Amino acid sequence: MQTKPFRIGTRGSPLALAQAHEARDRLMAAHGLPEEMFEIVVLSTKGDRITDRSLAEIGGKGLFTEELEQQLVSGELDFAVHSAKDMPTHLPDGLHLSAFLPREDIRDAVIGRTAPKLIDLPHGATVGSSSLRRQALIRRMRPDINVIIFRGSVETRLRKLEEGQVDATLLALAGLKRLGKVEVLTDILDPDTFPPAPAQGAICIESRIGDTRIDELLAAVNDAATFDTVSCERAFLAALDGSCRTPIGGYAICEGDLIRFSGLIITPDGRSQHGVTTDGHRRDAAALGTRAGQDVRARAGSAFFDDWH
């Protein structure tokens, strides 16, 4: 029987802590364990410390996970809680995504200062976003808009907006809900015309492969529909070599035993794009995502990527 607390790794932002607490609370409820059986261990990552440059410039998604994964591999942590959209498609040897909590809303939210909707912003307005996908989709919708890099926690970006540094910014609706800040949003974007990042709205738990004790603990909180949809979306990313250097959107939806996927790649200027829509059986979720990625890559051709990588 476990006598010492399970050590849960997380980043230190308010959103990351909210996600770690949600994972802990679900595990407490599923296993009837007291709070003292879980210790939340906060680590600072390179992605948290360097906020004046884009993620593409400083190394991509792994900047939010490296320190946590080092302590997972060494055994200092039992598991780590992440925003699934922050996870690289290739994990360190010996680690896997072993559970996904029930998914929140996948959509992007607009927080407008000078107008509530992107379409209503004044000509030449400035919008802040750290996401290449959001930047490209904004430019597709409004080529006249000036899009600037806008990094930091949710609270930091909202403060910068209030200070007048930008006319609007975009955030994941899921994060606003988890932080109890839904009242700040001024518009919600339709995922069919403004597709979210793959895995947006999902919380994943990363652990060591072969640690059956932890696998059994986490299995009780794994949400099967989220596991299948995110597996499909991450496979699409992997087939496109998706990273923070690549504007890619896409989402999957489970309908009974079937899964439906829609994905998009777009150039950073928003001028050229290739989309794909497909469906299949949920048991083939990852293979479906892989085929979708291969299909869209073949239709786009290597020049589509080479022109802006």
Question: In 32-129, which residue ranges form alpha helices assigned H by DSSP?
Answer: 46-49, 55-58, 66-74
Known active-site residue 228: no
**What are the CA-CA distances from residue 225 to residues 103, 116, 185, 230, 270 (Å)?**
8, 33, 27, 8, 31
Judge whether 238 and 294 are in contact, CB under 8 Å: no
DSSP-based three-state secondary structure for 144: coil
Q: Give the amino acid at 57.
A: E
Give the length of the chain.
Answer: 309
Residue that the structure tokens 């709205």 belong to: 201
- Helix, strand, coil % in the chain, rounded to nearest 5: 40, 25, 35
Catalytically annotated residue among 48, 86, 167, 211 = 86
Q: Give the amino acid at 163.
A: E
The helix/strand count (H/E) of the chain reads as: 11, 13
130-168: burial string, b at 16+ Cβ within 10 Å, e else: bbbbbbbbbbbebeebebebbbbbbeebbebbeeeebbb
Torsion of CA 148, 152, 156, 162, to 10 degrees: 10
Helix-helix angle 224-239:285-300, to 10 degrees: 30
* Catalytic sites, residue numbers: 86
